[in-house]
Chains A and B, each alone.
Chain A
Amino acid sequence: MLSQRTIETCVGLFLLAGILSLIILAFKVSGLTSFFKKEGYYITAQFDDIGQLKKRAPIKMGGVTIGEVTNIHLDRSDYRAIVTMRIDSRVNDIPDDSSASILTAGLLGDNYVAITPMYGSSYLKAGSVVSETHSAMILEKMIGQFLFNIDKSEKSKTGRGGMQ
């Protein structure tokens, strides 16, 4: 039987190993940095349809990641999606008439928000709302519209043919 002192030392080392491993898991494996409040400011944008956009999706400008989506919720008054975005504080000179659009990385990739800069002279700041937005492309809707248009154009052709 070991003495209580040895046992307590071993248990202490065990707990320490556990804490150390948790720290490794947190910072090395999951890249946790949200313990510390991330630098940045929050802006919102309203979209008609966000498609498959998720929290933590990147915000990109010219292909460079400048922030992430922090919250998505539904505006109950006009049934549009409100997306809250955190933009790095280093990027503090985005013109306030810029537009936000939801794009897809590759053919089957995840959605992200792209911000296209315009030429306004004042800048977006904390709490600003991006007014110019483009919804996500939804493949099913596009196919539906395409088929509908083919149908219509063929009908009008045959209709015109009948007239002549």
Chain B
Amino acid sequence: MIAQVTTLGRLGIKLLRDYGKAGILLFSAICYPPNIRKGLPLVFQQIYAEGVLSLLIIMVSGLFIGMVVALQGYHTLVKFGASQQLGPLVALSVVRELGPVVTALLFAGRAGSALTAEIGLMKATEQLSSMEMMAVDPIRRVISPRLWGGFISMPILTIIFNTVAIYGAYLVGVKWLGLDAGAFWSNTQSSVDFQEDILKGIYKSIVFGLVVTWIALYQGYHSMPTSAGISNATTRTVVYASLSILGLDFVLTAMMIGGW
């Protein structure tokens, strides 16, 4: 009995310590940003690795998601004689929800797992501790540029996803199913609001960008320095990041829904 209570207590304290370590990592990565002259090239390298290289998967999935939403939406709307409202349907659902969430999920799978594996391997091969031996702060040299890279890349990827998805819908709705192009754009323009819809979607993606990179970096930085440990950490990154994206999305939507 006592042993079980002890186990429970130990689990609780471990969980609390994990949260504490994650918080300290985030704090130190944000509060000691890389210095401008030396750090900016590092941030650029990370934007390249996390953002530019994710561009292909983001654009392809954006195109197909826009196309499939348009196809599905058209066949339902046409039953009510409302096929002219296809533009608003696709634009609003992509800009408000699908864009930020799907981009963040793809980003967690594409860039988040790579970050965890990279840092976990750095830790396992003792690159991080040898940096410390050379008086190079690994938080400043390794963690912080990656955090800023993810933080900057995510909103841009979301914006590109949104645009590509809406053009995918245009392709299906106008070029294939034969809606009127003028009605498509004018109905979209009259129901999508820049501040209410587009900017709020981008705010969401900024939060997701921070959370996904934070989780990935924490899992990598505090992973077990073994091959099994790295593989576990990578799995946990994808699972935790996806769950927190979906949970946070609900909370953020509930906070923002006022004007909708």
Contacts and interface: CB of A to CB of B under 8 A. Distances in A.
Contact of A7 (B44, B157, B186): B44
Contact of B198 (A8, A18, A29): A29
B198 A26 contact: yes
Interface of A: 2, 4, 7-8, 10-11, 13-15, 17-18, 21-22, 24-26, 28-32, 34, 56
B52 A11 contact: yes
Given A28-B185, A29-B91, A29-B188, A14 B162 contact: no
A31 B160 contact: no
B48 A18 contact: no
B45 A32 contact: no
Contacts of A8: 41, 44
Contact of A17 (B44, B95, B160): B160
Contact of A18 (B44, B156, B186): B156
A29 B190 contact: no
Q: Which 9 A-B pairs have the closest CB atoms?
A: A31-B189, A18-B156, A21-B163, A32-B194, A30-B194, A30-B192, A7-B48, A21-B159, A14-B52
A71 to B, nearest CB: 14
Contacts of B164: 21
A24 B159 CA distance: 10
B189 A14 contact: no
Majority SS at the chain B contact face: helix
A30 B198 contact: yes
Contacts of A17: 55, 156, 160
Interface string B143-159: 00000000001011101
A79 B110 CA distance: 56
Interface in B150-190: 153, 155-157, 159-160, 162-164, 166, 185-186, 188-190
Which size class do B's interface residues fall under?
Answer: 20 to 34
Majority SS at the chain A contact face: helix
A56 B194 CA distance: 13
A105 to B, nearest CB: 13
A11 B189 contact: no
B248 to A, nearest CB: 22
Contacts of B192: 29-31
A26 B199 CA distance: 9
Contacts of A4: 41, 44-45
Given A11-B52, A25-B198, A26-B198, A18 B160 contact: yes
Given A29-B166, A30-B194, A32-B194, A21 B160 contact: yes
Contacts of A14: 47-48, 51-52, 55, 153, 156
B45 A7 contact: yes
Contact of B48 (A10, A30, A32): A10
Greatest chain A CB density within 10 A among B48, B188, B190, B193 is at B48
Contacts of A10: 48, 52
Given A13-B52, A29-B192, A30-B198, 15 more contacts: A8-B44, A11-B51, A11-B52, A14-B48, A14-B156, A18-B159, A21-B162, A21-B164, A25-B162, A25-B163, A29-B163, A29-B189, A30-B189, A30-B193, A31-B186
